[in-house]
Amino acid sequence: MFDKYNKVQQAVLETTLRIIIQRELQATSMALIAKESGVSTGNIYHYFQSKEDIVNELYKGIVTFNGEYVIQGLNQKGTIRERFNWGWEKVIELSKKYPEGFLFIEQYSFSPYIYEEVKKEAYSGGWCGPMNKLYAEAIDQQLIIDMQPELMVQMHYGSIVYMVKGHIHGNIEFTEEIARNAIQACWNGISRDIQIAN
């Protein structure tokens, strides 16, 4: 997940991610990160400027990783509808294979702890841009209703996020079949065909 970083940085980032998800940021002390990562505090500061820096680097790293992952789905050859499915399938896959990273981004994308500048970088490097573009195309081709693409993407991302959270923290089932149905529901909610039917 943090390929472009060296061994020490990877250990720190992975450990920090794990602890933040398990115990929250406020309970994530440098001493704990040091202990659990096996890197001394001094050396952590050799590779990171501050605790904030670690968390922001984490954010960047995960956004990039998730972005590349989802964009694989979005950029495959296929119809808009297919690419829609593939994209959100990848998002759901992420939440299953890398739940910590998924939850981290979810929790911190609106946090003041993440620098505005990093959030902007995230937007351009992540999957939100390409997904928005797909929705815009779908509007152009009159496949879906004419709402702000960003809004619809947020809406659908929120749907998935909350199902995932309900699944992880609660006792809500979220099988692959259910996921498929949920993606279907997302499409149906904004599909032109359906508006007529309704």
40 binds DNA, rule: CB under 7 A: yes
23 binds a copy of itself, rule: CB under 8 A: yes
Q: Which is nearer to a copy of itself, 10 or 154 (CB)?
A: 154
- What value, to the nearest 5°, has the Cα angle with vertex 180 and ends 73 and 79? 45
Q: Which residues contact 165 (CB under 8 A, 6 or more apart)?
A: 103, 106
27 binds DNA, rule: CB under 7 A: yes
118 binds a copy of itself, rule: CB under 8 A: no
5 binds DNA, rule: CB under 7 A: no
Q: Which is nearer to a copy of itself, 90 or 156 (CB)?
A: 156
Per-residue HEC secondary structure of the chain comes to CCCCCCHHHHHHHHHHHHHHHHHCHHHCCHHHHHHHHCCCHHHHHHHCCCHHHHHHHHHHHHHHHHHHHHHHHHHCCCCHHHHHHHHHHHHHHHHHHCHHHHHHHHHHCCCCCCCHHHHHHHHHHCCHHHHHHHHHHHHHCCCECCCCHHHHHHHHHHHHHHHHHHHHHCCCCCCHHHHHHHHHHHHHHHEHHHHHHC
Q: Which is nearer to DNA, 6 or 175 (CB)?
A: 6
Select from DNA, a copy of itself, none the partner in contact with residue 47, using the beta carbon and a kind-dependent cut-off of 5 to 8 Å.
DNA
| Residues 31 to 50 in contact with a copy of itself, rule: CB under 8 A | none
Query: From the CB of 23, what's the least distance to a copy of itself, in Å?
Result: 7
Query: From the CB of 72, what's the least distance to DNA, in Å?
Result: 32
Select from a copy of itself, DNA, none the partner in contact with residue 166, using the beta carbon and a kind-dependent cut-off of 5 to 8 Å.
a copy of itself
Name the residues that contact DNA, by CB under 7 A. Answer: 6, 8, 27-31, 39-43, 45-47, 50-52
Name the residues that contact a copy of itself, by CB under 8 A. Answer: 22-26, 107, 110-113, 145, 147-148, 150-152, 154-163, 165-166, 169-170, 172-174, 178, 181-182, 184-191, 193-198
